[in-house]
Chain A
């Protein structure tokens, strides 16, 4: 804070923090970038155009997009119910939302195997309907849905709490019905939170590894997502392919999260400015 008073102690602490983060976070990221491009750009591009990688990437994207859509609709609904409704068992509902954060991804995959596997509790149901869940895409979808469940809800709860109820009341007084109020009054206030929650969910879904490995089995061309492709490439010592896919997946996730973060900040400053402006004009009117 005080620039004049910053003695050697302050510089020592700054040095420690910078060194620590450099060695812990920046060094490994640089190692990945340097290592992947060691032989130039061409091998990287070549390894990203193979059929195996394209299939894996397309499966990842399909699963992640479906998960984002469902999480957006149901997550917003759950957040709404938790903020606006009061009922018995609500605190239990609120308490279990964070469970996916605490369960190991491997255990998530295993739980789904116990449900849908050959000796699973729901196996009779599967035999009847003929829908394969274990070692198939539907199981991987469920696993991804489980691990990414808290993001949207946790993002939307404070957003819904901060909604301006005066506006809803006003719209209602002016005769707007529930749908009109939702789309014209509530939804615009939810938008930036929704985008941020969707982005976090997307990044988490694309990066999921342990759970989809256990429930999907990682069969090339069938149940192999991008992370499983990276893992198989590592094990088969096709390093350049593993590194290239890692760079692509890592940089994509980082870019979308930072873009969404910037958007959210932008929205927040605009809202804050709007509030100041409102109070300013209100004050002018009073005077």
Chain B
């Protein structure tokens, strides 16, 4: 059995550990140790203290703001991501290549720069920002709409890039058959195409949600740091760290990590349960 392997892989015993041990050590030290330390620190005063810390008015507001803006972003991102991916795969039109290239821009642009860009577009001193606030009564910067916009920007690629390959591989004969049998394009979409896309849409949406609840760079510039109004959970954590509020910082951090892990776990479970066939 062993001799079927190339010579350099027939190594036994300690030689395997030359690569394996440093790999385990690297990931263990880099990822597990910090996680264990923060969980230990947050639970050191007991669960009750942790619950108390996250239910303090300012912390609670920050967490709620983070959750609802992230949820709203996820909803919009799911719908618009689906439309964009569908258009990019199924239709030919001038400028399509350019559009396809733009999708990944948010992944390359540092999130702090994203925040700067949004302030320059919607800021109270800018033309568009002034127009929106005086003529339409909509405040974007230093208000929740700005947070949602920032989150939409940074997570736009997640849904689109999850759907695109699935849509590309989708068997066109089924759609043709449905059309031949007299289904209109709406019926074909809802009965044939959409069921195949549910999984990637959910996947991309959950991914963008878990990414959004921890977002800091884009949000801190756009939302500012106004407790009980525009302070998100990540910004609250920064404030708690700076004011030596160790219990508060640890409690909110643990909550953020737990939610993100739960969402990732859900993604994995969904993938395992329905992704196989």
Q: Interface-forming stretch among A49-57, A78-86, A269-277, A278-286?
A: A78-86
**Contact (Cβ within 8 A) B8 A178:** yes
For the complex, give the distance between the alpha carbons of A104 and B254 in Å. Answer: 11
**Contact (Cβ within 8 A) A172 B91:** no
Q: Is A242 an interface residue (CB 8 A)?
A: yes
For the complex, give the distance between the alpha carbons of A66 and B16 in Å. Answer: 27
For the complex, give the distance between the alpha carbons of A80 and B214 in Å. Answer: 30
**Contact (Cβ within 8 A) A78 B26:** yes
**Contact (Cβ within 8 A) B8 A17:** no
In the complex, residue of chain B having the shortest beta-carbon distance to the beta carbon of A242: B116
Q: Is A43 an interface residue (CB 8 A)?
A: no
**Contact (Cβ within 8 A) A257 B27:** no
Q: Interface-forming stretch among B46-54, B98-106, B197-205, B269-277?
A: B98-106
**Contact (Cβ within 8 A) A258 B6:** no
Q: Is B164 an interface residue (CB 8 A)?
A: no
For the complex, give the distance between the alpha carbons of A81 and B136 in Å. Answer: 58
Q: Is B114 an interface residue (CB 8 A)?
A: yes
Asked whether A110 and B241 contact (CB < 8 A) given A31-B126, A210-B217, the answer is yes
A261 to chain B, nearest CB (A): 8
**Which of the residues A78, A105, A254 comes within 8 Å of B109, measured between beta carbons?**
A254
Residues of A within 8 Å of B93, CB to CB, are 14
Asked whether A18 and B95 contact (CB < 8 A) given A103-B257, A230-B113, the answer is yes
Q: Is A192 an interface residue (CB 8 A)?
A: no
B59 to chain A, nearest CB (A): 14
Q: Is B72 an interface residue (CB 8 A)?
A: no
Segment 221-277 of B: residues with Cβ below 8 Å from A: 221, 233-235, 237-238, 241, 246, 249-250, 253, 256-257, 260-261, 263-264
Q: Is A196 an interface residue (CB 8 A)?
A: no
**Contact (Cβ within 8 A) A254 B108:** yes
Residues of B within 8 Å of A17, CB to CB, are 80, 83-84, 87-88, 99
Segment 1-44 of A: residues with Cβ below 8 Å from B: 1, 3, 6, 9-10, 13-14, 16-18, 20-21, 24-29, 31-32, 35
Residues of A within 8 Å of B9, CB to CB, are 84, 168
Residues of A within 8 Å of B12, CB to CB, are none
How large, as a class, is the contact surface on chain A?
35 or more
**Contact (Cβ within 8 A) B37 A104:** no
Residues of B within 8 Å of A171, CB to CB, are 6
B266 to chain A, nearest CB (A): 12
Q: Is A219 an interface residue (CB 8 A)?
A: no
Q: Is A124 an interface residue (CB 8 A)?
A: no
Asked whether A172 and B217 contact (CB < 8 A) given A13-B91, A14-B87, the answer is no
Segment 55-107 of A: residues with Cβ below 8 Å from B: 74, 77-78, 80-82, 84-85, 87, 89, 93, 96-107
**Contact (Cβ within 8 A) B216 A230:** no
How large, as a class, is the contact surface on chain B?
35 or more
Segment 183-198 of A: residues with Cβ below 8 Å from B: none
A114 to chain B, nearest CB (A): 5
A49 to chain B, nearest CB (A): 20
Segment 86-144 of B: residues with Cβ below 8 Å from A: 86-88, 90-93, 95, 99, 101-114, 116-121, 126, 128
**Contact (Cβ within 8 A) A172 B264:** no
**Contact (Cβ within 8 A) B19 A6:** no
Q: Is A115 an interface residue (CB 8 A)?
A: yes
Q: Is B172 an interface residue (CB 8 A)?
A: yes
Segment 18-47 of B: residues with Cβ below 8 Å from A: 19-20, 22-24, 26-27, 30-35, 37-38, 41
Q: Is B69 an interface residue (CB 8 A)?
A: no
Q: Is A145 an interface residue (CB 8 A)?
A: yes
**Contact (Cβ within 8 A) A93 B24:** yes
Residues of B within 8 Å of A110, CB to CB, are 38, 237, 241, 249-250, 253
Chain B 181-216 interface mask (CB, 8 Å, partner A; 1/0): 000010000000000000000000000001101111
Closest 9 pairs (CB-CB, A-B): A207-B110, A104-B214, A178-B8, A172-B6, A210-B216, A28-B117, A111-B34, A31-B121, A102-B260
Chain B interface residues toward A at CB < 8 A: 6-9, 11, 16, 19-20, 22-24, 26-27, 30-35, 37-38, 41, 80, 83-84, 86-88, 90-93, 95, 99, 101-114, 116-121, 126, 128, 149, 152-153, 156, 172, 185, 210-211, 213-217, 220-221, 233-235, 237-238, 241, 246, 249-250, 253, 256-257, 260-261, 263-264
Chain A interface residues toward B at CB < 8 A: 1, 3, 6, 9-10, 13-14, 16-18, 20-21, 24-29, 31-32, 35, 74, 77-78, 80-82, 84-85, 87, 89, 93, 96-115, 119, 121, 145-146, 149, 165, 168-169, 171-173, 177-178, 181-182, 203, 206-210, 213-214, 227, 230-231, 234, 242-243, 246, 249-250, 253-254, 257-258, 261
Q: List 21 A-B contacts (CB under 8 A).
A: A17-B80, A28-B118, A28-B121, A31-B128, A35-B126, A77-B26, A85-B20, A98-B264, A103-B214, A103-B260, A104-B215, A104-B216, A104-B256, A105-B234, A145-B30, A149-B27, A165-B6, A172-B7, A207-B217, A246-B116, A249-B110
